[in-house]
Amino acid sequence: MIIRNVFVKPAMIAGVMLLTACGGADIDGAALAAEKGCVACHGVKGKAIAPMYPNLNGQWEKYLRKQLVAYRDGSRKNAIMSIQAQNLSDEDISVLAAHYGN
């Protein structure tokens, strides 16, 4: 568990920083940043790398948006996701939800 946190967490934080740098307006750029940040746990195209992480691909876009907002505002808690979502704008969340959702 400690090894995973040492290597995975920095990669995810870097991905969120890339997404934030995109400003959310560039959907293609934000989708690429999402792939770079989210892929550490949620895998390429949202197919999780391990059973402990949820698959994002195929989830409802509205559901993904709601969960990211809940992580950001603290009404849903998870040690990793709460940190990941705290700097996401509403537009960033919409782009991520659209990228992974259907």
Q: How does pLDDT run across 29-42, given as a tens digit for each residue? A: 666 666 667 888 99
CA–CA distance, 95 with 19 (Å, rounded to integer) = 10
- pLDDT of residue 92 exceeding 80, the answer is yes
User: Are 34 and 57 a contacting pair, CB within 8 Å?
Assistant: no
What mean pLDDT value characterizes the chain?
A: 78
Rounded to 5 degrees, φ, ψ at 48 are: -55, 150
The helix/strand count (H/E) of the chain reads as: 5, 0
How many structural domains does the chain have? 1
Look up the domain containing 62 and give its range: 2-100
Q: What integer pLDDT is reported at residue 81 of this predicted model? A: 94
- The CATH number of whichever domain residue 19 belongs to comes to 1.10.760.10
| More confident call, 11 vs 48 | 48
